[in-house]
Chains A and B, each alone.
Chain A
Amino acid sequence: AQTVTQSQPEMSVQEAETVTLSCTYDTSESDYYLFWYKQPPSRQMILVIRQEAYKQQNATENRFSVNFQKAAKSFSLKISDSQLGDAAMYFCAYRSDRSNFGNEKLTFGTGTRLTIIP
Chain B
Amino acid sequence: NAGVTQTPKFQVLKTGQSMTLQCAQDMNHEYMSWYRQDPGMGLRLIHYSVGAGITDQGEVPNGYNVSRSTTEDFPLRLLSAAPSQTSVYFCASSPLRGYNEQFFGPGTRLTVL
Could you list which residues of chain A lie within 8 angstroms of chain B, going by C-beta atoms?
4, 9, 33, 35, 42-45, 47, 50, 52, 91, 97, 99, 101-111
Contact = CB atoms under 8 A, between A and B. Distances in A.
A110 B42 contact: yes
A104 B96 contact: yes
Contacts, number: 57
B88 A43 contact: yes
A111 B56 CA distance: 26
A45 B37 CA distance: 11
A106 to B, nearest CB: 6
Contacts of B50: 101-102, 104
A102 B35 CA distance: 14
Given A105-B45, A108-B43, A110-B40, A44 B96 contact: no
Given A50-B101, A97-B98, A106 B43 contact: yes
Interface string B85-107: 00010101010111101101011
Given A102-B56, A106-B43, 19 more contacts: A9-B40, A33-B98, A35-B101, A42-B106, A43-B107, A44-B104, A44-B106, A45-B90, A47-B102, A50-B101, A91-B42, A102-B50, A104-B48, A104-B50, A104-B102, A105-B58, A106-B102, A108-B44, A110-B40
Contacts of A33: 98-99
Contacts of A109: 42
B111 to A, nearest CB: 15
A43 B88 CA distance: 9
B41 interface: yes
B63 to A, nearest CB: 19
Which of A35, A91, A97, A105: most chain B CB closer than 10 A?
A: A105
Contacts of B48: 102, 104-105
Given A43-B106, A110-B42, A101 B101 contact: no
Nearest to B32: A104
B99 A104 contact: no
Contacts of B92: 45, 106
Contact of B42 (A99, A105, A111): A111
A109 B88 CA distance: 16
